[in-house]
Structure 1
Amino acid sequence: MIVGVGARAGVAPDEVLGLVRAVLDEAGAGAGDVVALVTVDVKGQEPGIVAAAGALGVPLVTYDAGTLAAVPVPHPSEGARGAVGTPSVAEAAALVGGGELLVPKRISTGAGGGAGRVTCAVARAG
């Protein structure tokens, strides 16, 4: 499984891992099925994402915004485009190598039950 992850700056590793685990569960998969965590290059040093990849024991792979922007996705976001230069991080990152999207973009739950700071999608590697 390829897990695509997007996040706002300063996100806690627990929020990233919590959403990754929930999305993997939704896909009927576990942490042992993950072969890589993938994100946009400008998030490649984000401590929460780096820590999540480390906790899962998988490499963190990054792609530039132009590469991710070229990947067709079901849920593009103008917010993501404005923030990092691509209309999708999580879904495009999961799909950039081909494969089948198993779980489309999900958003973590933030404090007070609102939208959180992490997005995640899962694809079966192509």
Structure 2
Amino acid sequence: MNVRQLAAVDMYGSIGVAWRRWLILGEFLLGLVGGLALGLYLILRGGPPGPVVFGVWVLGAGLNYLPLAVHALTLVAPGALERELTGVDLPATLRYYSVRQLWLVVPLLFLGLELARMIKGLRSSA
């Protein structure tokens, strides 16, 4: 799964209205900050193991929004989103990623995918 392409397709949507990219950027930033804040609160509050474990899960799910937010910040520049989606079969890719977005609930998955992509890129350029 390509996290950058997921961010781009989500920001563009089905018809590419300009306000959607800002709405999705806000969603990604809120998911990151909100997930980190709530997760840390539940973990640091202590108490019974249930809320602490839930806090760890929320923190991990919130960290999935980090690569999405970073990519979204680079894609709001004029023309960046359109360049990213050049040559992409948008309807098919939108359908593909619409289902894959559910994987956000797996803690650290998107962060791990992005780190793996970065490591692979470093190895191939060396």
Q: TM-score, normalized by length of structure 2?
A: 0.32
Q: TM-score, normalized by length of structure 1?
A: 0.32
Q: Which structure shows the higher strand fraction? A: 1
* Higher CA-based Rg: 2
Q: Which structure shows the higher helix fraction? A: 2
